[in-house]
C-alpha cells in the first residue's frame, strides 16, 4: 500500500513556491506606489493574487498529509 503523504508533501511544496512567486509579483506591483515615475500594467496586480492561491494549496497539502498520517496510525492500532 502506497503512502499518501508524498502527494500531500508535493502539494505543500508547490503551494509554497506559488506563494513566493505571488509575493514577488506583489512587491513588483507595489513599486509604482513607492516610485511614482514607474508605470506598470495592471496584470501585476492579477499576478500578485497567486499568493492566495499558493496559501490555499499549502493548507490543502497540510490537510491531505495529516489525513494520510492519521489513516496510517489507525491501521497500526487495529493490527
**How confident is the chain (79 residues) per 10-residue block, as mean pLDDT?**
65 96 96 94 94 96 86 72
Q: How far apart, in whole angstroms, are the C-alpha atoms of residue 49 and residue 51?
A: 5
Nearest to 56 by CA among 24, 26, 16: 16
Q: How far apart, in whole angstroms, are the C-alpha atoms of residue 53 and residue 26?
A: 13
pLDDT value for 36: 92
Q: How far apart, in whole angstroms, are the C-alpha atoms of residue 56 and residue 77?
A: 32
pLDDT value for 2: 55
Q: How far apart, in whole angstroms, are the C-alpha atoms of residue 10 and residue 8?
A: 5
pLDDT value for 1: 43
Secondary structure letter of residue 79 according to DSSP: -
Q: How far apart, in whole angstroms, are the C-alpha atoms of residue 25 and residue 5?
A: 30
Amino acid at each position: 500500500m502506497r503512502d499518501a503523504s508524498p502527494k500531500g508533501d508535493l502539494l505543500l511544496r508547490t503551494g509554497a513556491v506559488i506563494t513566493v512567486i505571488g509575493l514577488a509579483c506583489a512587491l513588483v506591483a507595489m513599486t509604482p506606489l513607492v516610485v511614482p515615475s514607474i508605470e506598470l500594467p495592471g496584470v501585476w496586480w492579477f499576478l500578485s493574487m497567486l499568493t492566495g492561491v499558493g496559501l490555499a494549496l499549502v493548507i490543502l497539502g497540510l490537510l491531505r498529509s495529516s489525513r494520510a498520517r492519521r489513516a496510517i496510525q489507525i491501521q497500526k492500532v487495529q493490527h
